[in-house]
Amino acid sequence: MMSKKARKFTLLALTIIFLTLSIAVQASAFSYFVDVVNNTITKQEAAVFNLIIKNSADYDDYYTITTNDVNWLVSTTPESAIVPAKSELELVLELRPKALVEEGRTYFVPVKIKSSKTDFYYENRQDFAVYVVNPNIKAGEYTATVTPVISIDKIIDPREKVGVTLTLRNRNPKPFDSLKVVIDGEIFSKDYTTKLLPLEEKTNVILFEIDPLTEADTRTLSVMLYLNDTKIAESSTEYEIKGYPDLKETTSKQVFLFRIEEKFSIYNNGNKAGTAEEKFRMSIFRKLFTKFTPEAVKERGDDGKAYYVIRQNLRPQETLNGSVVTNYRLLVVIILVIIAIIVLYYVLRSPVIIAKNAEPLGKTEDGLSEVKIRLYLKNRSRKPVNSLRVIDIIPSIAEIDKKTHLGTMEPVSIGKSKRGTVPRWEMDVLEAYEERIITYRIKSKLTLIGGIRLPSAKATFDAGGGKERITYSNSINMIYQPE
């Protein structure tokens, strides 16, 4: 709950606020309006204005009209400015120059209108402008005084419309019917003709569209005023064109026969240089078959992963054209060749395998005298082989041992040739996946010191279509070292 002291303080504060607001309302309880009758005079004349004072208070008030400019005299008609409550009074106000006032100049006389009841007053110079002419100069020949003030944003974006604010202040108490205005911003311009009333201030906002590719730079904005082809005023300011890179990208991808081609194009449509960048993430395997145009550099991204980056600085209107080609065709060709070789091997390989093995027998301190030979036959196909004939060659230094058992198969014949003894075996058919072993022994005519070389055995069989096919075994180079 509020204390007694606090309630007193609050009541006092509210009273002060109320009185202040009341005084403020009463102080501004009148207004005025000025209409120029004649403000172009000679030193011997008086400038005339219509002054209307409106008393909006609920009491009568008396108003005094004075100036603190000692070079001017103020008089009103009627002399007494008593305005009843809730009414207004129209007076004729005259400003008469004294001897020290110079001719050919515009004067802004400070006129003070004050309430006797509240002591509130208005004092204004702009409403009471007077031009004192030189009587020796013809009317309309005095110097025209118009002040131009031009403004623009310090930094403008060329992609947006540019707003230029122009304010024209007529310092003369005479109108200008044909005032030519020329605005020049280097990259935009405009000229037009306007009118100015006496002592008028006019503000225009003019919008310009400029080339969005205008180079970033500092420019000058100027305004020039012409009256009868004579420049009477000029004003200027500086502004800056904002620079921006505008990178636009297009991409395409084409896949054909194990070849992937990705193309990209980055175009700088801005007015400032920018960095074009394209990143690619790929495996080490793919990188082996990939070519970058232009060359890419390997970098680690913010995510810690490795990327291949194509980067180039682009000036305005420049384009970066690049491509990434991954070509697996060579790899596919190699794989196809390997597959073809494997297929051809299985298609063209002999269905009959023949392998030759030799085991030394009859070892003595002087050398080797006897060798046991095995011929291993196998049909590795799913079809039977017909008319199989096996021929082996025994070097001339040795001969077949007929006294011993020659194995499960006896040779059909044992012949002679320049190379040595030629035993031959025949089989009508060798069934699918069937295996046979031919075993026999040879004896050397002399003790073999150092070993013997046994040539390959040959197997001939019917390949179908009236053709024969031949396959050979391995040869054996038997080396024997006496113990």
Return the pLDDT at 131: 79
The DSSP line for 425-482 is: EEEEEE-TT-EEEEEEEEEEEEEESS-EEEPPPEEEEEEETTEEEEEE---EEE----
If you classify domain 350-478 with CATH, what class do you get?
mainly beta
Compare 141 and 428 and report the one with higher pLDDT. Answer: 428
Mean pLDDT confidence for 327-348: 91
Compute the distance between CA of residue 70 and CA of residue 100 in angstroms, rounded to an integer. 10
283 Cβ contact list (under 8 Å, min separation 6)? none
Quick check: 107 pLDDT over 70?
Answer: yes
Tokens of 289: 């078959």
Helix (H) or strand (E) holding 14: helix 4-27
| pLDDT, averaged across the chain | 85
Neighbours of 348 (CB within 10 A): 7
Banded model confidence at residue 183, pLDDT cuts 50, 70, 90: very high
Tokens of 61: 């008030």
Return the pLDDT at 139: 47
Quick check: 375 pLDDT over 90?
Answer: yes
Which of 245, 247, 248 has its CA nearest to residue 271? 245
Return the pLDDT at 23: 46
Burial of 181 (0-12, 13-18, 19+ CB in 10 A): buried
Flag whether the pTM goes above 0.85. no
Longest Cα separation, the chain: 174
Q: What is the pLDDT of residues 228-280, one digit of tens each?
A: 888 888 888 999 999 888 899 999 999 999 999 999 999 998 888 888 989 99
If you classify domain 25-132 with CATH, what class do you get?
mainly beta
Q: Is 146-241's fold the same as 350-478's?
A: yes
Return the pLDDT at 460: 94
Least confident of 73-77, 331-335, 345-349: 345-349
Quick check: 215 pLDDT over 80?
Answer: yes
Compute the distance between CA of residue 163 and CA of residue 151 in angstroms, rounded to an integer. 9
Tokens of 451: 């070993």
Banded model confidence at residue 25, pLDDT cuts 50, 70, 90: very low
Mean pLDDT confidence for 184-211: 90
Banded model confidence at residue 134, pLDDT cuts 50, 70, 90: confident
Return the pLDDT at 399: 84
Whether 199 and 217 have beta carbons less than 8 Å apart is answered as: no
Percent of the chain with pLDDT over 90: 42
Neighbours of 50 (CB within 10 A): 13
Q: What angle do CA 51, 57, 63 make, to 5 degrees?
A: 40
Quick check: 406 pLDDT over 60?
Answer: no
CATH for 146-241, options being 1.10.357.10, 2.60.40.10, 3.40.50.150, 3.30.70.60: 2.60.40.10
Domain ranges of the chain: 25-132, 146-241, 250-329, 350-478
Banded model confidence at residue 404, pLDDT cuts 50, 70, 90: low
Return the pLDDT at 142: 53
Whether 234 and 224 have beta carbons less than 8 Å apart is answered as: yes
Tokens of 303: 């995510």
Strands of the sheet with 61-67, listed across from one edge: 82-83, 61-67, 111-115, 121-124
Least confident of 15-19, 132-136, 181-185, 202-206: 15-19
Helix (H) or strand (E) holding 333: helix 329-348
Helix (H) or strand (E) holding 385: strand 385-391
Return the pLDDT at 22: 47
DSSP state of 158: T
